Structure 1
């Protein structure tokens, strides 16, 4: 009986080992037009990607005052830069994330973050960006950019961030 069990185990191991394949040392190039070929002129950055967005706009985020959601002149300049990039990349969709600092209740900060993200969305729409290309989400105080209970940290957390979600 033990010989039979040992023999079955040996045959099973040989069968499993024979089925496995060795990975090739080098992979063939990706087919053209699949979005994985970045070409030499882009420096490895895929056009229309989040990396491309960050490299070509003044900033991916705008900041707000305490308990505010108005888009000021500095924010307008940032959103104008984002709008120009979005116009050059008409297939791209973005997500506007609204954030708040740690002060206030969770529900209040979720609502404030949504107002901030919608303010940015409305300004981009006023510049000619189709609002259907822009989704909005609020994280309230749940995703701080800076940890700390001081004005410097709070100022960094009161923001709306634009993220590329689709090409």
Structure 2
């Protein structure tokens, strides 16, 4: 009986090595901008963050959603690293609202992205804002899923 008790105590006293779980990898869309090197024009096609060139908005809003802040930061760093780079911010709206209202909303959205890029280090001389309102939809169905795709600002590089 005493032997069994000793074996039981010894078995319970064993320490198990606990290995820390590996850190989860960040999705490619939110990969941080390079901190050591400078962006090059080739990075526009290879860097996961820079390939993201659309910022989506809520209905009737021009505030940038938090999930797009990293994209803004990447593009602002590119503008800092490449002073000769130029971009056009194309503001768009869904089909609801008058033509004039949607043109204004598209411009407000483009200006919001422009302001965010400047706040993150981009230069105003590198940015041009244009509004297409509801004139350039990427989806033509008449439902919320489609409208949400049309409420956007597209980042178009005109000089790399």
Relative to the length of structure 1, the TM-score reads: 0.67
Q: CA RMSD in A?
A: 1.5
Match of 1:118 in 2: 111
| Preserved contact between residue 53 and residue 164 of structure 1 (Cα < 8 Å) | no
Match of 2:158 in 1: 165
Match of 1:99 in 2: 92
Shift of 1:84: 2.0
Structure 2 residue runs without a partner (length 5+): 1-39
User: Cα distance 1:140–1:54, how it changes in 2: closer, same or farther (>3 A)?
Assistant: farther
Structure 1 residue runs without a partner (length 5+): 1-46
Alignment of 1:14-29 (within 5 A): none
d(CA) in 2 for partners of 1:102, 1:53: 31
Query: Is residue 84 of structure 2 the alignment partner of residue 69 of structure 1?
Result: no
d(CA) in 2 for partners of 1:66, 1:149: 14
Q: Deviations over 1:77-105 (max 9, x none)?
A: 21112112222322110000000001111
User: Cα distance 1:55–1:148, how it changes in 2: closer, same or farther (>3 A)?
Assistant: farther
Figure out how many residues of one structure are paired with residues of the other and give that number. 119
User: Cα distance 1:54–1:140, how it changes in 2: closer, same or farther (>3 A)?
Assistant: farther
